[in-house]
Structure 1
Amino acid sequence: MNYLSVENISKSFGERTLFKDISFGINKDQKIAFIAKNGSGKTQIMRMINGDDEPDSGQIIIRKGIKMAFLSQNNNLQDELTIEESIFASDNEILHVIERYEKALENPEDEEKYQLAFDEMDRFNAWDFETQFKQILSKLKLDDLKLKVKSLSGGQKKRLSLAIILINRPDLLILDEPTNHLDLEMIEWLESYFAKENITLFMVTHDRFFLERVCNEIIELDNGKLYAYKGNYSYYLQKKEERIAMENSTIDKAQNLFVKELAWMRRQPKARTTKSKSRQDDFYKIKSVAESRRKENVVELEINMERMGSKIIELHKIYKKFKDKVILDNFSYDFQRGERIGIIGKNGTGKSTFLNILTKTMQPDAGKVVIGETIKVGYYTQSGINPKPGQKVIDIIKEYGEYIPLTKGKIISASQLLERFLFDAKKQYDYVEKLSGGELKRLYLCTVLIQNPNFLILDEPTNDLDIVTLNVLESFLLDYPGCLLVVSHDRYFMDKIVDHLFVFRGEGEVEDFPGNYSDFRAYEDSAEPEKSEAKEKVNWKQNHPTTSGLNFNEQKEFNKIEREIKDLEYEKKQIENLFAEGKVADADITKKAEELQAIINKLEAKEERWFELSSKMEE
């Protein structure tokens, strides 16, 4: 059954065309994700579907009688209502039945009123609905129903808006970034809820685990064209790669033909025959295809990272509490070169406090932080950029200098640096206040990285970034040679970037887990209840095999060794190329040869250890 049809819609702002002649449909039980780059028209299409905006041409047809709900980035709640009043302020008859029953429970001495409410619950089969209604509120941590909307945080308001939509069970849900402001536990519950319920969804989300586990179709708006993929995120990635390869093959053929036809065009006399006119028309079609090769955005940055000494950062018996709430309890850790650590835990368990203590923006109650002399920390916080009024994008970068040093003695200008971070020449002279949320995040990351940190701390770096930009950021971070510490609710991002986790359990307990987020979830799901005891955790950390068959220290070593092998292979290739190109001075031949041999010896030792650990994983 078709719920909604989008027919040949177009939208432009001045001379800029966002999209043209876009068509798609939403049918009953479909769970569709809508993917597009920031600024390509996602929000406009969502607003048009909800009736908050109109297309320049085309139409959107909604099936008569369909109940639709829209979760936007901006809440439409009434400040003076309580959480409970906000939930019951709808035309859902069963909710009104539950509301009358809840009020009757508050006055049990009025037996007649209570009996009427009880019978009404039976008549409408509202008992199961009430159970689910309370479960939704519990999972979204909306426990105090008497709180007024105006006293709620932005995150609580988002969760309340989501709860109202889920409780009312509309036929069609339109969701704009539903996982924003949810912690990992809430996200996984919502993911499970959507996956098992017969709900029709149309959503925009950057959470790729969510896409993988919930959606059965993906629609992508790419360079003004719409592409549909009947499957989840993995299927989409595979089919998109095949599509681009096919498009590039077509373009390559057109370019070869274009060269031949261009030579023919240049030989033609000015007088045209009917035959030559037809061929000339075909030439311009071929030219259009030949010049249509897509420009893939890649952040290329070889910042001249500060040399890292043997001492990185040491934490000695750190203790911190706020009133009676213990955040860190005698926590010690000695960071090693090249470590990539993810930080996870429920909201309020102390993740941000830990980062502030680590960067010395907050003092612990006891213990000390020792930072090595060569360590330069880059701290990407959730607060972002605070530009001066009237400041342009390029002004932000020029505060750090007109030229930025790269590796191998190279330099680039501030403008060239911005281009590498996907800000074209025109965008560089935009006022900062005109940037989208994702663009602001990208600019802020740029300002952190150009300071050449060798210890990079990222606090929720993926918020407001589209999937295209996320992939770009991940590619950059995978090649980042320094230490990396990341707080993120993006499970896909964490799996790709980190080697092990600090798990903040609350009450000052921080567990070091040897694996990525998926490894952690698999372990948690299979762990016996008694493993929650601190003593068991200490034994497990040293001796318990992980899902890979390696113990704690071996798992950390294995995660690190793959990256070390990659770095050594790169160094080996660089020196071999110098010899092959005859660029080694006679006086340096012996020294370079010894350097090459030392790298080869290290590489062989690392590869031997890699095979040893790999064979243990397979046992």
Structure 2
Amino acid sequence: MNYVSVENISKSFGERELFRDLSFGINKDQKIALIAKNGTGKTTLMNMLIGTDEADTGQVIMRKGIKVAYLPQEPKLQAELTIEESIFASDNPILKVIEQYEKALENPEDSEKYQAAFEAMEQYQAWDFETQYKQILFKLKLDNLKLKIKNLSGGQKKRLALAIILIDRPDLLVLDEPTNHLDLEMIEWLESYFAKENITLFMVTHDRYFLERVCNEILELENGKLYNYKGNYAYYLQKKEERIAAENASIDKAKNIFVRELEWMRRQPKARTTKSKSRQDDFYIIKEKAQQRRKDNVVELEINMERLGSKVIELHKVSKNFGEKTILNQFDYNFQRGERIGIIGKNGTGKSTFLNIVAGNLPADSGKVIIGDTIKLGYYTQSGINPKPGQKVIEVIKEYGEFIPLTKGKTISAGHLLELFLFDRKKQHDYVEKLSGGELKRLYLCTVLIQNPNFLILDEPTNDLDIVTLNVLENFLLDYPGCLLVVSHDRYFMDKIVDHLFVFRGAGEIEDFPGNYSDFRAYEDSVPTEKTEVKADKNSWKQQQASALTFAEQKEFQKLEREIKQLEDDKQRMEQAFSDGTITDIEKASLELKTVIDKLEEKEMRWFELGEKAGI
């Protein structure tokens, strides 16, 4: 059953065209994700679906009687209502029945009202519905229903808005970053809920595990065009790679034809025949195709940062309390060179407080934090950037420096760094106040990285970043040679970047876990409940991990995967050129192909060697 048909819609703001002639449909029980760079029209497209914006051309046709609910990034709730009143403000008839039943329970002496409410619950079969909505509130930690909206934090408001639309059970849910402001436990519950329920979804999210486990279709908006992938995130990655390879092959072929046709054009006399005019017209089409290029940003920077000494950062019996709430209790740890630690735990367990203590921004109640003489800290906080009025993007970066030194005497300029993080030359001269939330986060990252730190602290760096930017950041961090300490709710990011975890359990309990987030989940799901047994099990887990790859080998293994992929692409492109007959110097091309094949075999042998050690 078709719920929504989007037919040939276009949208521009002034001279800037977001997209043209987009068409797609949303059918019952489909779970669709929209992927695009920040600023390319994701929110505009969602606003068209819910009717708060209109296309310049084309139309959005909604099936009659369809009930649509929208979860924005910043929910609008009535400040004077309580949590309970906000939930029951829905026009859902079953919720009205439950509301009357809840009120009847508050006045049990009025037996007549209670009996009427009880019978209504039976009539509407509302008992299961009531159980489900209470479970939703419990999972989203909305237990005090009498709290007023005006007294809630931003995260609580987002969770309440999510709870309201889940409880209301509309036909179509349109969700903008539904996992923002949720801790890992809530994210995994919501992921499981969406995966098993017959719900129709259209959402934007940067949570790639969420995409993998929930979505059955992905739409990608790129350069104003829409690409459709009938599968989850892994399928999307595979098919996108195939599409790009086909596009590049087409561009390479056009370049070869362009070289021939350009020579022909130069030889032409000014007088034109009908035949030569037609060929000249074709030439300009070929030229446009040949000059296309993808702006895929792969960041591989061999940074020449100040060398870490033998002493990095040491914490000796550090304690921190806020009133009766314990954050750290006699905590000891010595950071090692090249260490990459992820921090996970429920909201409110002290993760950001710990980062501030390590960075020297917050004093401990007792104990010592000793920072080595060679340490240069870079700290990305949740508070973000605070630019001066009237500043341009490039000016913000140049305040911190013009260049980052690389190995072998090379440097990277502030402008080049911005380009790597998706700020083109034109965007670099925009005023900062024009930037979107995601673009501001990207700019803030650049201000931290341009300072060339050798100990990098990141507090929720993935919030508000699109998937394209996340891949750029991850590629940078995979090659980053310094120490890394990161708090993130992005499980995919943590699995890719860190090699062990600090698990904040609350009440000052911090567990050092030897693995990434997926390892931790597997461990948590497998261990017994008794603490003594858990401890023994964890020790055996550590022994198993000890025989796996070292951090340096993990980094090499990940880099090999990228290098092998690039060499395979080069080999395929060169072999295709031989097949097409476009090679001019066959001897030179043959030697180049042999070099690529030899390198590929060498890299693959090392990859297999490390893979065997890792048990892959």
> Is the TM-score greater than 0.5?
yes
Partner of 2:355: 355
Secondary structure at 1:271 match in 2: coil
Partner Cα separation in structure 1 for residue 411 and residue 497 of structure 2: 28
Cα distance, 1:405 vs structure 2: 3.5
Cα distance, 1:528 vs structure 2: 1.3
Write the deviation string for residues 142-183 of structure 1: whole angstroms up to 9, x where unpaired.
Answer: 111111111111111111111110001001111110001111
Partner Cα separation in structure 2 for residue 133 and residue 173 of structure 1: 16
Partner of 2:35: 35
Secondary structure at 1:529 match in 2: coil
CA change 1:255–1:119 in 2 (3 A) is same
Partner of 2:540: 544
Q: Which amino acid aligns with 2:10?
A: S
Write the deviation string for residues 494-527 of structure 1: whole angstroms up to 9, x where unpaired.
Answer: 0000101110111111111111111111111122
Query: Is this contact kept in 1: 2:301–2:479, CA < 8 A?
Result: no
Query: Is this contact kept in 1: 2:302–2:479, CA < 8 A?
Result: no
Partner Cα separation in structure 2 for residue 419 and residue 366 of structure 1: 44
Write the deviation string for residues 72-125 of structure 1: whole angstroms up to 9, x where unpaired.
Answer: 112121111111111111110000000000000000011111011001100000
Write the deviation string for residues 316-351 of structure 1: whole angstroms up to 9, x where unpaired.
Answer: 111222222111122111111111111000001111
Partner Cα separation in structure 1 for residue 391 and residue 19 of structure 2: 30
Query: Is this contact kept in 2: 1:301–1:420, CA < 8 A?
Result: no
After TM superposition, the structure 1 = structure 2 runs for residues 469-480 of structure 1, keeping only pairs within 5 Å, are 469-480=469-480
After TM superposition, the structure 1 = structure 2 runs for residues 166-315 of structure 1, keeping only pairs within 5 Å, are 166-299=166-299, 301-315=301-315
Cα distance, 1:440 vs structure 2: 1.1
Secondary structure at 1:383 match in 2: coil
Partner of 2:491: 491
Partner Cα separation in structure 1 for residue 86 and residue 545 of structure 2: 48
Partner Cα separation in structure 2 for residue 405 and residue 421 of structure 1: 17
Question: Structure 1: which 5+ runs fail to align?
Answer: 569-606
Q: Which amino acid aligns with 2:155?
A: G
Partner Cα separation in structure 2 for residue 358 and residue 445 of structure 1: 19
Secondary structure at 1:18 match in 2: strand
Cα distance, 1:411 vs structure 2: 3.9
* Match status 1:323 vs 2:349: no
After TM superposition, the structure 1 = structure 2 runs for residues 149-168 of structure 1, keeping only pairs within 5 Å, are 149-168=149-168
Query: Is this contact kept in 1: 2:422–2:469, CA < 8 A?
Result: no
CA change 1:258–1:155 in 2 (3 A) is same
Query: Is this contact kept in 1: 2:19–2:225, CA < 8 A?
Result: yes
Partner of 2:57: 57
Cα distance, 1:409 vs structure 2: 3.0
Partner of 1:604: none
Query: Is this contact kept in 2: 1:303–1:450, CA < 8 A?
Result: no
Partner Cα separation in structure 2 for residue 288 and residue 432 of structure 1: 33
Cα distance, 1:266 vs structure 2: 2.1
CA change 1:611–1:366 in 2 (3 A) is farther
Partner Cα separation in structure 2 for residue 567 and residue 520 of structure 1: 24
CA change 1:210–1:291 in 2 (3 A) is same
Partner of 2:384: 384
Cα distance, 1:540 vs structure 2: 3.9
Secondary structure at 1:75 match in 2: coil
Cα distance, 1:611 vs structure 2: 6.8
After TM superposition, the structure 1 = structure 2 runs for residues 18-33 of structure 1, keeping only pairs within 5 Å, are 18-33=18-33
Partner of 2:554: 562
User: Which has the larger displacement, 269-278 or 516-525?
Assistant: 269-278
CA change 1:567–1:491 in 2 (3 A) is closer
Query: Is this contact kept in 1: 2:303–2:481, CA < 8 A?
Result: no
* Match status 1:466 vs 2:459: no
CA change 1:377–1:554 in 2 (3 A) is farther
Query: Is this contact kept in 2: 1:29–1:198, CA < 8 A?
Result: yes
CA change 1:616–1:212 in 2 (3 A) is closer
Write the deviation string for residues 352-392 of structure 1: whole angstroms up to 9, x where unpaired.
Answer: 11111111211222221111111111111111111122222
Partner of 1:603: none
CA change 1:363–1:207 in 2 (3 A) is same
Partner Cα separation in structure 2 for residue 567 and residue 53 of structure 1: 44
After TM superposition, the structure 1 = structure 2 runs for residues 478-517 of structure 1, keeping only pairs within 5 Å, are 478-517=478-517
CA change 1:195–1:417 in 2 (3 A) is closer
Partner Cα separation in structure 2 for residue 565 and residue 285 of structure 1: 43
Partner Cα separation in structure 2 for residue 410 and residue 536 of structure 1: 54
Partner of 1:429: 429
The count of residues paired between Structure 1 and Structure 2 equals 571
Partner Cα separation in structure 2 for residue 421 and residue 462 of structure 1: 13
Partner Cα separation in structure 1 for residue 33 and residue 499 of structure 2: 29
Partner Cα separation in structure 2 for residue 611 and residue 271 of structure 1: 66
Query: Is this contact kept in 2: 1:499–1:560, CA < 8 A?
Result: no
Cα distance, 1:279 vs structure 2: 2.1
After TM superposition, the structure 1 = structure 2 runs for residues 332-481 of structure 1, keeping only pairs within 5 Å, are 332-481=332-481
Query: Is this contact kept in 1: 2:303–2:480, CA < 8 A?
Result: no
Partner Cα separation in structure 1 for residue 185 and residue 396 of structure 2: 37
Q: Which amino acid aligns with 1:256?
A: N
User: Which has the larger displacement, 441-450 or 235-244?
Assistant: 441-450
Partner of 2:596: none
Partner of 2:588: none
CA change 1:562–1:181 in 2 (3 A) is closer
Secondary structure at 1:545 match in 2: helix
After TM superposition, the structure 1 = structure 2 runs for residues 9-24 of structure 1, keeping only pairs within 5 Å, are 9-24=9-24
Query: Is this contact kept in 1: 2:208–2:492, CA < 8 A?
Result: yes
Cα distance, 1:613 vs structure 2: 11
Cα distance, 1:224 vs structure 2: 1.2
Cα distance, 1:414 vs structure 2: 3.4
Cα distance, 1:615 vs structure 2: 5.5
Query: Is this contact kept in 1: 2:401–2:450, CA < 8 A?
Result: no
Query: Is this contact kept in 2: 1:299–1:422, CA < 8 A?
Result: no
TM-score (norm. length: structure 1):
0.88
Q: Which amino acid aligns with 1:155?
A: G
Partner Cα separation in structure 1 for residue 73 and residue 354 of structure 2: 29
Cα distance, 1:302 vs structure 2: 4.2
Secondary structure at 2:81 match in 1: coil
CA change 1:398–1:128 in 2 (3 A) is same
Cα distance, 1:553 vs structure 2: 4.5
Cα distance, 1:565 vs structure 2: 8.3
Q: Which amino acid aligns with 1:320?
A: K
Q: Which amino acid aligns with 1:528?
A: P
Cα distance, 1:421 vs structure 2: 3.2
Secondary structure at 1:343 match in 2: strand
TM-score (norm. length: structure 2):
0.89
